Amino acid sequence: MSYSQPPHAMPEQVIWEGVSASLTSAATGGRVAPRYRLTTHHLYFERGLLKTDAQQVPIHEIVDIDVKQSLTQKARGVGDVIVHVQRPTGPEKVTLESVHDPRAVQQAINAAAHQARLREQHAARYPMPVQMVHTSQQPPAGGPGIDGDLVTQLERLGALVKSGILTREEFDAKKAEILRRL
């Protein structure tokens, strides 16, 4: 038996990366600047020079994003992005300190979190069926050499792209995986 990969397990792609541009960071030449990375699945943040603190937040758990700018930050074109996370253990706040163009970062996180929540909801409602591998010598239904289940999966993935749940890149990656099974 082979198992299909659920839609929320698509390959992780980087959406945005940034480094804190705080005054402390500037004073140390960026050596202690916290680093941030937003992907299609997680928000990663890492800080520290002698000791590293690295964490990740699944983006489907992000429920709100705020932007705050002091007068000094506003003059420098940076701001703090406060990310509100609802983990199974309770609410949490993560602050991305002094990032460039904080409104654009806020929008990118909001869009990625929205897409991740849609994928999670879809995966919960419509789990991908387990696919049986045909071991008979006869070609399976769906035409010579083409598995009807694979065609059905491709059609379902196409519908997910049309509805905006999957990106074209996610579709292409899954399609390539499905076609390798032929």
Q: Scanning the structure block, which residue is given the tokens 């703090």?
A: 80
pLDDT computed for residue 121 by the predictor: 82
Q: 56 pairs with which residues across the strands?
A: 44
pLDDT computed for residue 4 by the predictor: 40
Domains and CATH numbers, the chain: 14-124 (2.30.29.30), 131-180 (no CATH)
Query: Quick one: what percent of the chain has pLDDT higher than 90?
Result: 39
User: Looking at residues 1-16, what average pLDDT do you find?
Assistant: 62
pTM: 0.62
Q: Which of 109 and 50 is assigned the larger pLDDT?
A: 109
Residue 60, class by beta-carbon neighbours within 10 Å (0-12 exposed, 13-18 middle, 19+ buried)? buried
CA distance 174 to 3: 13
pLDDT digits (tens, 9 = 90+) for 130-179: 554 554 444 444 444 455 677 777 788 887 777 777 788 888 888 888 77
pLDDT computed for residue 152 by the predictor: 79
pLDDT computed for residue 12 by the predictor: 86
Asked whether the predicted pLDDT for residue 112 surpasses 60, the reply is: yes
pLDDT computed for residue 146 by the predictor: 53
